[in-house]
Structure 1
Amino acid sequence: MNAKYSLSLLLLLYCLNLSAQQTAANLQGNVKTTKNEPAAFVSLLIKHSQIGTITNEQGKYSIQNVPTGKHILVVKAVGFDLIEKEINIEENRTLTVNLTISAATTQLQAVEVTGRKEQTYKNSYAFSGTKTETPLRYVPQAISYVTKEVMLDRQAFKNSDVVKNISGVNQFSYNNNDFVLRGFRASNTMINGLRVSSSGWNQSLIPHVERVEVIKGPASALFANTDPGGTVNIVTKKPLDENRKSVNFTTGSYNTYRLATDFTGPMNESKTLLYRLNFAYQNAESFRVLQGGQDVVVAPSISFIPDEKTHANIDLVFMSSVGKLDRGQPIFGATAGTQLNSTPISFALGKKSDYIKELNMYSTLSLTRKLTDWLSFNASYMKFMYNEDLMEHRTSNGYGMDADGKAIPTLMQMQTIRRQTRNYTDNVSAYFISAFNTGKFEHKLLVGYDHILFHTALGNSNYNAGGFINAAGNGVVLTKSGTPAAYDPKNRSLYMIKDNMPVPNVPFFNLENPDYNITDISRYYNISSAVTPSRYYADGVYIQEQFKFGKWNGLLGLRMEHYTDMLNYTLKTEKKVKQKALIPRVGLVYTPMQWVSLYGTYTEGYQPQSAGTIGAPEIYGGPFDPLISNMIEGGAKMEYFKKRLAVNLAIYRIEQNNVLVNAGAPDNLNLLRQIGQQRATGLELDAYGQITPELSLTANIAFNKAEITKSTNEAEVGKIFPNAPRKQGGFWAKYKFPQKAISGLAVGVGSNFVTERTTNDTKNNLKLPGYTLLDAAIYYTVDKFRLAFNLNNAFNKTHWVGGFDYNRLFPGAPRNFLIGIGYSF
C-alpha cells in the first residue's frame, strides 16, 4: 500500500506541476520614449503581484512565468508618466508587448527625490545645472561627474579618490574638498544643490553618495557666491522603488578594514513609502607617520510619494571622523636646490597625543508638488552642523634660527593648537516652475528664492602656544596686540638665549631626528582666547527661462544677490556690512543631429570680500571691491554606440578680478592689496559609458593655462597659479569577459597623469614634478557574490598631489592594494 500511495502522490505532484506550467507563459518586448529612444531601467510590474523586471540599456525586457489570464501591466520610470496597460496571457504563448512612455507633463520635477536606476558609468540627467531635471546634453555648460559604479569599481571611498576621474580637477592639499578647478582653488561645496559653508578637515567616507558632480565655471546665477573655476556638488543616494541590498567588506594596505552596507526598497505594497539606509565603518592607518583613524557614516533616507503629483524626501547624514590633522610633509630649509626627497614622503610633524575629532551632521527635507499640469512648486531645506575638537603640534611655517636670525634648515618652528568649535549652516531654496508653449516655442520658466545663513556662536575657544620665551623665563615675548612675537635679532635682549639660539615656547622639531612622543601641552606657555563669533547670510531672488524651438534649446538667467556680513558680531560695535550683485547667465544649445549638441554660454560669478576685511581699512587697507568673475565657454556634447557612451568637449576662458593678496608692508603685516586679474583658458574632454556591453569607460583630459594677467606689481604678470597643471588627464576601463568558460570574470585598468605645477613659494621657485600613475583591478562575480582586487600606483611612483611651500607638501600614496568582497541580495 505504501508503494501505491507513494506512486499516486508522485503522479499528483507531476500533474500539478504540469498544470502550473500550462497556466503560465512569458511576456517580453521593448520600451521606447516618444523620441524613439530606448528607455533604459524602466520598471514593469504585474499589478497586485511580485512579478516584474526592469528594462536593460537597450530598453528590452522579459518576464518569465506570468500566470495566464488578464492582468494590468504597470510601467513606471522617474520623469515619465505612469502607464497601466491591460494584457491577456494565453497558455503556451510568449506575448510581445512594445510600449512607448511619455515624459511626465512638462517634466516639472526639480528635486531629486527618488534614486537613479542607471547602473553604468554614464549619467543622463542632472538637476544641478538648471535646478530642473534636464538632460545633460541640453545644459549649456560643462558638468562632469563620477557615478557610484565608477566608485565601486575603483574602490574609491573618499573625494580625493574620485576627482582624478574628472577633467580639470586636482588636489591642492589633503584637506576635505580642497581642490583646484580649472586652475582656481575651490572652497565651495554643495550637497544636493544646497550650499555648505564648512565640512571639516579630514575627508569622510562617501558610501551614501550616488555621484559627484562638478559644475564647471562660475555658478553664481543659481547658487550665490561660488568659485570661478567650478563648484563640487555631492548627490546623495535616494530610495528606489525596488528592493536592492548589498554588504561589502574591504581590507588591504595600511591595515585597512572597512564595512559598507546599502539597503533600499519600498516600505509598503503600494510603493508610496520608500527607504534607503547606507552605513560604513572604516579603521585604517596611512603611509604617513601617525596618520589614519576611524570613520563612521550613517545615512538613512525616506521618500514619500502619495500620488503622482507629490514627492517628498527626508535625508539624515551622520559622519564621524577621529584621527589626526595631516598638515603635510616638511622638507629641509628653503634654499636653492633643496630636494623634495630630503625627507621621506611618509614624514609628518606632530605628536602621538595629537588628535582631531570631527562630526558632520545634516538633515535635508525636499518637496516637489505639481499644482497643475503646467505649474509646480519645489522646496528644500538643509540644516548642517560641524563640530571640531582639535589638538595638534604643527609648524609655524618657518624654520628654527640662531641668535643672529640665521635659519637652520633642519629645524622647524612649532606651535600647538587646542581648539573646540561648532558652526551651523541653514539653507533654504524654494521656487516655482511653469511650463507652457507660445506657438512653436516650448518654455520652462523658473522663479525662485534662496536663503543661506552661516553662524558660529559664542563659546568656541582656542588654547594655543607658540613664539619664544622671554629673557626672564616667565612667559613669551608678545606683540602690542598680545600675540606671540616672532624672533627679532635686533632686540635679542628681550629673548632667552641658550646655546646661541632663542629658546622656543614649543621646542623646534628636528627633521633629522624627529620626536613623536606624547607631550603634555600644559608645560608650554598657552594663551587662551575665544574664537571670534561670526554670522553672515545671503538672500537671492532669481529667474530662469529655458526654451526650446526646433533644434534649439536656450537658457536665460538673472539673479539679484544680497549679502550681509556681521562685523564685530555679538559686540556692542556690531554692524551690518552689506554687498549686492546682479548676476546674469545666458546659454544656447543647437542639436543638428540626434547624436550631437553644440553649445555656447556666458556666465558671471560673485564672491563678497569678508566683513572683517572690508570693514577695517585701518588694518587691511581698502576699501576693496568684491571678487567678480566671468566665463565664456563653448563645446559639444555627443553620444555614440546607441547612446551608451557620452563624450563632452569644452573650450573656455575664465577671468577673475579683485583678488586680495598680502601687500608685504614691513610696518603692517596685515595690509592687503588687490592684484588685478587672473585668467584661465583651456580645453577639456570627458567620456563616460559603454563602448560595448562588455567594455565600460570613463576618461578625461584637460589643457589649462591659469595665470595672472593684470597686477599692480608687473613682476607678477604671467605667473602661473599654484597647483594648476598645464596638462592632466586619465582613464578607467573595465572589461567583462563574455565567454561562458570564464563567466563572471572582469578586469580593470586605469591611469592618470599630471604635469609640473608651481606652489605658493614663488620666491624660491618651488615646483612639484609631474607624474603618471597606473592602477589595475580584477573582479570575479559568482551568483550574488563579488570579489575585487585593486592595485593602485602599480609602479610605485613617488609623486606629490599638491603643496603650499617647503613646510607643507602633500605626497601621494605609494603602491597599495585593496581586497573587497560584496554580497547583493
Structure 2
Amino acid sequence: MKNLLSFLTLVMLTNIALAQNGTVSGTVKDNNQAPLYGVNVYFKDTTIGTQTNKNGEFKISNLENGDYTLLISYIGFKTREIQLSVINNQNKNLGTITLYEGNEILSEVIINGERRNKFSRRKTAYVSKLPLKDIENSQVYSTVTNEILKSQIVTNFDDALKNATGVEQLWTSTGRGGDGAGYYSLRGFSVQPQLVNGLPGLTNGTINPANIERIEVLKGPSATLFGNAVSSYGGLINVVTKKPYVGTGGELSFTSGSYGLNQIVGDFNTALSKEDNLYFRLNTAYTTEQSFQDAGFRKSFFIAPSLSYKVNNRLSFSFYGEITQAEQTNPTFLFLNRSAPTAASNLDELNYNNKLSFTSNDLTLQNPTQNYRIEMDYKLSDTWRSQTLLSKSSTSTKGYYSYLFDYGILEGNTYTRFINKQNANTQTTDIQQNFIGDFKIASLRNRLVIGVDYFNETQTNNSTGYAFYGNVTPDGGSNGDNPFTPGIEDDSYPLSTSGVDAALASQGVSNVKSKYHIYSLYASDVINFTDNLSAMIGLRLDHFDNEGDLAILDDDYDQTTLSPKFGVVYQPIKDKLSVFGNYQNGFTNVAPQLVGNPEDGPQTLKTFDPEQANQLEFGIKTNLFNNRLNATISYYDIKVKDRVITDPSSPFNKIQGGEVLSKGFEIEINANPIKGLNIRAGFSNNDSETIETDNTEILNKRPLEAGPETLYNFWTTYEFQDGTFNGFGFGLGFNGASERFAINYVSTGEFILPSYTIANASVFYQADKYRIGLKLNNAFNKEYYKGWTTINPQQPRALLANISYKF
C-alpha cells in the first residue's frame, strides 16, 4: 500500500508539473519606437487575445503547451505574424515588436475591451494617402465615427453630417440627373460627397449610412492629392465603408419612427477560407419613409458586399461593392427669383404653409446607383509598398422632376411649376497607382507617396424639355395662368402621370452625350527633421481633356494645371500637442463658353484660365490624458481668384477676374473625461465676401453658397458602468446655425432665413448581445429652414425606436 501511495503521489505531482501553463508577453512599438496603445494581440484560429496598454505592453497567460501563431494587428499598420512554442510553464518574453505603417486591409480585428474616446478617430490612411496620425498631419479634418451614428440612431446621411464641424446642408438630394446628390457648405463653398474610401464614388440620391464606418471631412482646398473632380475650395467629404475583418459575426438592426420610417439593417462577416485568409462581409438595408408634408416618400434597397484576400504577408486584395435601388418623390423647393425682387422678403410675408409638398406620390424618380472598387496592395520591401486601385461608378435618374420658381411676372407670391421627365446616366472610372515609402535619407525619416491617376466621366442625357404645369402660392392656392402667354388661362393641371405625360407630349427629348478625362501625376512627402518637427510638401500635375458634347467638336478643350501643397507640424509634447500651419491649393477647369448676342450673328467660343484657390491656415491639435481629450483649433484664409462670372453689361458674355475671400476659425473637441462619458462639440465662424468683380450685383456681398456665418454642434452620451443601472445610458445634444441669405443681390434685395437651434435626446440600454434605444429629434418641434436661393423646410419633431442584436 505504501508503494502504491508513493507511486500515485509521484504521478499526480508529475501531471501537475506538466499541466502548468505558459505566459507570453512583449511590447509593441511603431517605427519611431513609440509605444502603441490598443493594439490587437491574439493567437490565430483561437479566441485567446488581448490589447496593449498605454505603454504598449501585453501579456497573455494560461497557455497550454503547443505551437502557436501570434498575430499582432493595428489599423493603419501592417499585421505581424510570429511563430512560437509554449513548453512546460514557460514564460516567454518577446521583447520589443515593431509594427510598420501600412494599409487597412484585413487589419480590423474584434477584441472585447474598452476603446477610449469613441467619438474620435485619430489615424487614417486616406486623408494624406499616407497612414499619418491626426496630430502629425498639417491638414485639418473632422471625423464622424460609427459610434456617433449608433448613439444617435442615424438613418440618413444628412443627419450624420450634422456632427461634422463647419458643415451645413444647403439643400437635400433632389435625385435629378447630373447633380442630384445633396449640397453642403464648407468653409464658405459648396461641396458634394463624391469620395468613397479615397476614390470617386457617385450618388444621385442620399448615401445609405448602413455601410459607413466613418465620414472624413477634409478642410480646405485639397486638389493636390485628390484633384478637382471630387473636391471643392472648401474641402471634400470622404465616406469610409465597413470592411471585412478576421472572425465571424454580425448584427441585425431594426428602426421605426415618425412619418412612416421603417429600416432594417443587416451586417454579416465570415471566413470563406481561414487557411487562405479569405474573408467576406455583407451589409444590407431596406428603408421606407414618408414625408411630414401632405405627399412625399422614399424607399430604397441597399446591398454592399466586400471581400478581402490576404495571399501572404506581401500581397493583399480587396473588393467593395455598393448597389442601391431607390425610388422617391423629389423635394419641391421654392426657388427665389435671382434677378428681381420677390413679393415677400421674409418668411412672415411669404405666408408659407410648409406642410404642403406641391407634388403627389404618383410623380416619382428612380435612382439606381452602383459603386465598385478593387484594391491590390503589394509589399515591395520593408520600406516600400505598391497600391493599385480601380473604381467604377454608375448612377441613373428616371422619372418626373419638378421645380417651383418665382418669375415675378404674376401678382403676389406666385410660383410657377415646371416639370420634365428625367432619363440621365453618369458613369465614372478611376485608376490609381501609388507607391508608398517609409525610409530614411541620412537621419531624416521620409514618408512618401508617388501616384498617377486617370479619371473619366461620361454623362448621357435623354431627358425631355421642361413644360409649364400650373402655378401655386405658398399658402396652397393654385391657378393655370401661363406667365409666358399673353392671354389669361384657367386650365387645370392634375398631379398625375397621365396629366404630366400629356403636357410633355409636345416637348423635345435631349440626345446629349458628353465626356471628359483627367490625367494626373502627384507626389507628397512628410519629412521628419526631428522627432518633434516635420514638414509636408506635395505637388500635382493635372491635365484636363474635355471632349464636351460628342456631337459638337467646337466645345473640345484641354488645360494643364499645377497644384502645390506645403505644411509644417511641430510637437512641443510628442504625440500629445502639435502646432501646425499649411498652404493648400485648389482649382477648377472652366469649360469654354459661347458668348455674343445671337441676334447679332453666330456666337463664338471663349476660353478661360483655371480658377485658383489658395489657403493659409494655422492652429493646434491635442491628444491628451491617454487619448481622453482630442481638440483641434484652427484659423484659415482662402482666396479664390480668376472666377468666371456673367458680364453685368451683357447676359450673353462671360468675363474672368472675380475674387472671393473666405476666412474663419473652427474648434472641435472630442472628450472622454470619465469611463462611460463621451462628448463631441464643434464651433465654426466663417466670413466670406466677393471682394473683386465687375458684377456689381454681388460685389462686397456674402456668396450664397457660403451658408450661415456661424455653426455649432454638441452631442454627449453617458452609459452607467455598474450597479442597478449598469448598461443604461442617455444622450443629449443640439446643433444650430446663424441666419443665412437665401437670396442677396442688388436687384433682388435680401431674403434671410432665420437662425435656429435644434435639441435632440436619447435613452438606451446596452447589453452584451443587444441594444435598445429611443431617440427624439427636434425635441422642441422647432420650425426651421435651409436653402441656397431656395426655401427648404426641415422635419418637425420625430421619435425613433431601435433594437439591435449582435452575434
| TM-score normalised by L of structure 2 | 0.86
Q: How does 1:657-696 map to 2 (within 5 A)?
A: 657-663=641-647, 669-674=651-656, 676-696=658-678
Could you tell me whether the CA contact under 8 Å between 2:63 and 2:86 is conserved in 1?
Answer: no
Number of residue equivalences: 757
Counterparts of 1:530-569 in structure 2, within 5 Å, are: 530-550=510-530, 551-569=532-550
Out of 818, 822, 825, the position equivalent to 2:800 is 818
Equivalent of 2:723, from 737, 740, 743?
A: 740
The structure 1 residue matched to 2:611, chosen from 580, 605, 627, is 627
Q: Distance in 2 between matches of 1:338 and 1:48?
A: 64
- Partner-residue secondary structure (3-state), 2:151: helix
Letter aligned with residue 33 of structure 1: K
Q: Aligned residue for 1:583?
A: 563
* Among 460, 463, 468, the residue aligned to 1:461: 463
Residues 770 and 99 of structure 1: CA distance in aligned 2, closer, same or farther (over 3 Å): farther
Cα deviation, 1:440-475, whole Å, max 9, x if unaligned, reads: 211123221111100124x72325323899xxxxxx
Structure 1 contact 116–238 (Cα < 8 Å) conserved? no
- Which residue is 2:178 aligned to? none
Letter in 1 for 2:288: N
What is the CA distance between 1:223 and its match in structure 2? 1.2
Once the two structures are superposed, the pairs formed by residues 113-512 of structure 1 within 5 Å of their partners are 114-115=107-108, 120-175=118-173, 176-187=181-192, 189-196=194-201, 198-200=202-204, 202-225=205-228, 226-270=231-275, 272-329=277-334, 334-336=343-345, 339=348, 342-398=351-407, 405=409, 407-457=410-460, 460-466=462-468, 487=483, 495=485, 497=487, 501=488, 507=493
Is 2:703 aligned against 1:721?
yes
Give the 3-state SS of the residue equivalent to 1:528 in structure 2.
coil
Match of 2:691 in 1: 709
Query: 1:619, 1:467 → 2: CA distance?
Result: 32
C-alpha spacing 1:325/1:540, structure 2 compared with 1 (3 Å): same
Q: Distance in 1 between matches of 2:388 and 2:515?
A: 24
User: Is the 1:195–1:427 Cα contact (8 Å) retained in structure 2?
Assistant: yes
Distance 2:597 2:121 in 1: 48
The question of whether the paired residues in 2 share the 8 Å contact of 1:113 and 1:366 is answered with no
Cα distance in 1 for partners of 2:596, 2:268 equals 51
Shift of 1:280: 0.6
Question: CA separation in 1, counterparts of 2:45 and 2:759?
Answer: 51
C-alpha separation in 2, matches of 1:325 and 1:637: 42
Q: How far, CA to CA, are the matches of 1:311 and 1:394 in structure 2?
A: 48
CA contact (8 A) 2:64 2:86 kept: no
Residues 196-217 of structure 1: CA deviation (Å, up to 9, x unaligned):
4x421x3132211111111111
Code of the aligned partner of 1:813: Q
The 1:531/1:521 distance shift into structure 2, 3 A limit, reads same
In 1, the alpha carbon distance for the partners of 2:725 and 2:95 equals 35
1:347–1:96 CA distance, 2 compared to 1 (3 A) = farther
1:41 CA drift (Å):
4.3
Q: Secondary structure at the match of 1:570?
A: coil
In structure 2, the partner of 1:596 is 577
Measure, in 2, the Cα distance between the counterparts of 1:431 and 1:71: 35
Match of 1:46 among 22, 26, 43: 43
Amino acid at match of 1:592: P
**Which residue does the alignment assign to 2:759?**
774
Give the 3 Å change call, closer, same or farther, for CA 74–427 of structure 1 in structure 2: closer
Q: Which amino acid aligns with 2:561?
A: A
Residue of structure 1 equivalent to 2:7: none
What is the letter of the counterpart of residue 608 of structure 1?
N
Deviation at 1:298, TM superposition (A): 0.3
Matched AA of 2:385: S
Work out the CA distance in 1 between the residues paired with 2:698 and 2:555.
Answer: 36
For the Cα contact (< 8 Å) 1:140–1:589, is it kept in 2? yes
Q: Distance in 2 between matches of 1:89 and 1:113?
A: 31
- Structure 1 residue 700 and structure 2 residue 682: aligned? yes
Query: CA-to-partner distance for each residue in 1:112-167, whole Å, 9 max, x for gaps?
Result: 56448678222121223221111121111101110111111111232211111111
Which residue, out of 635, 644, 647, partners 1:651?
A: 635
Q: Is the 8 A contact 1:750 1:776 kept in 2?
A: yes
Query: Secondary structure in 1 aligned to 2:311?
Result: strand
Q: Is the 8 A contact 1:330 1:348 kept in 2?
A: no
Could you list the runs of 5+ residues in structure 1 that have no partner in the other structure? 1-15, 400-404, 470-484, 489-494, 508-514
* Corresponding position of 2:768: 783
Assess, with a 3 A threshold, how the Cα gap between structure 1 residues 516 and 467 changes in structure 2: closer, same or farther: closer
Shift in Å at residue 68 of structure 1? Answer: 5.1
How far off is 1:341 after superposition? 6.5
User: 1:803-825 CA deviation, whole Å, 9 max, x = no partner?
Assistant: 134xx311221111111000011
Counterpart selection for 2:791 from 804, 809, 813: 809
* Residue 608 of structure 1 pairs with residue 589 of structure 2: yes
CA distance in 2, matches of 1:745, 1:21: 46
Q: Aligned match of 1:103 in 99, 105, 110?
A: 99
Distance 1:566 1:711 in 2: 30
Q: 1:417-452 CA deviation, whole Å, 9 max, x = no partner?
A: 101111210011112223331222111232211111
Which range is displaced more, 685-694 or 424-433? Answer: 685-694
Q: What do you get for the CA RMSD once the two structures are aligned?
A: 3.3
Q: Is the 8 A contact 2:524 2:539 kept in 1?
A: yes
In the alignment, structure 2 segments of 5+ residues that lack a partner are: 1-11, 174-180, 472-480
CA contact (8 A) 2:332 2:402 kept: no
Deviations 1:492-515 (Å, cap 9, x if unpaired)? xxx452xxx2567x85xxxxxxx7
Where does residue 82 of structure 2 map in the other structure?
84
Q: Residues 221 and 558 of structure 1 are in contact (CA less than 8 Å); yes or no, is this contact kept in structure 2? A: yes
Question: Quick check: 1:566–1:574 contact (8 Å CA) kept in 2?
Answer: no
- Distance in 2 between residues matched to 1:269 and 1:192, nearest whole Å: 25
What's the offset of the Cα at 1:679? 1.0
For residues 304-334 of structure 1, give each alpha carbon's deviation from its aligned partner in whole angstroms, at most 9, with x where no partner exists: 1111211211111101211111032579953
Q: Secondary structure at the match of 1:267?
A: strand
CA contact (8 A) 1:706 1:724 kept: no
268-277 or 289-298: which moved more? 268-277
Letter aligned with residue 779 of structure 1: F
AA of the residue aligned to 1:522: D
1:11 maps to what in 2? none
Normalized against structure 1, the TM-score is what? Answer: 0.85
Shift of 1:351: 3.0
Quick one: structure 1 residues 342 and 59, their matched pair in 2 at CA, closer, same or farther if it must change by over 3 Å?
A: farther
Q: Following the alignment from structure 1 to structure 2, what is the Cα–Cα distance between the partners of residues 587 and 68?
A: 52
- Tell me by how many angstroms 1:345 deviates: 2.5
Deviation of residue 38 (structure 1)? Answer: 5.6
Report the secondary structure of 1:649's partner residue.
strand
Q: Distance in 1 between matches of 2:590 and 2:192?
A: 14
